Amino acid sequence: ELKVEQNPLFLSMQEGKNYTIYCNYSTTSDRLYWYRQDPGKSLESLFVLLSNGAVKQEGRLMASLDTKARLSTLHITAAVHDLSATYFCAVERRGSEKLVFGKGMKLTVNP
């Protein structure tokens, strides 16, 4: 059974600081997604990572994928308050259409 673990689950950080969050998964996967969710809202797609070594950047966020280690990282650079949200990673198992989600990381960026 595919399991997806995120850590940390809660993070409070100061504006301007950098931090990396992690997503581990247990079995071979086709692709990995990062989503952002604001309270009471739907999921906003941030990144789709398709292959080993993939790195994508959007603004202050950069995501990478290491399929050998079954690990993805989401790096936050010079955090701002607007980044406060819950961030989920989700993995699509090879041969399956369903996404398996981590529990999410609730990020609070303090001014």
Partner 1 sequence: NAGVMQNPRHLVRRRGQEARLRCSPMKGHSHVYWYRQLPEEGLKFMVYLQKENIIDESGMPKERFSAEFPKEGPSILRIQQVVRGDSAAYFCASSPSSGGRNNEQFFGPGTRLTVL
100 belongs to the binding site for partner 1 (CB under 8 A)? yes
The HSE-up count of residue 56 (CA atoms within 13 Å, CB side) is 15
User: Among residues 14 and 52, whose Cβ is nearest to partner 1?
Assistant: 52
> Does residue number 11 form part of the binding site for partner 1 (CB under 8 A)?
no
97 binding partner 1? (CB under 8 A): yes
Residue 33 makes contact with partner 1 by CB under 8 A: yes
Confirm or reject binding of residue 41 to partner 1 (CB under 8 A). yes
Dump strand ranges (E) for 1-42.
Answer: 4-7, 10-14, 19-25, 29-37
Q: For residues 22 and 77, which CB has a smaller minimum distance to partner 1 in the complex?
A: 22
Residue 50 interacts with partner 1 (CB under 8 A)? yes
Count the alpha carbons within 13 Å of 59 in the hemisphere toward its beta carbon: 8
Q: Does 3 bind partner 1 (CB under 8 A)?
A: no
| Upper half-sphere CA count for residue 58 (Cβ side, 13 Å) | 10
Strand bridging mode 105-110 / 10-14: parallel
Binding site for partner 1 (CB under 8 A): 4, 33, 35, 40-43, 45, 48, 50, 88, 90, 96-104
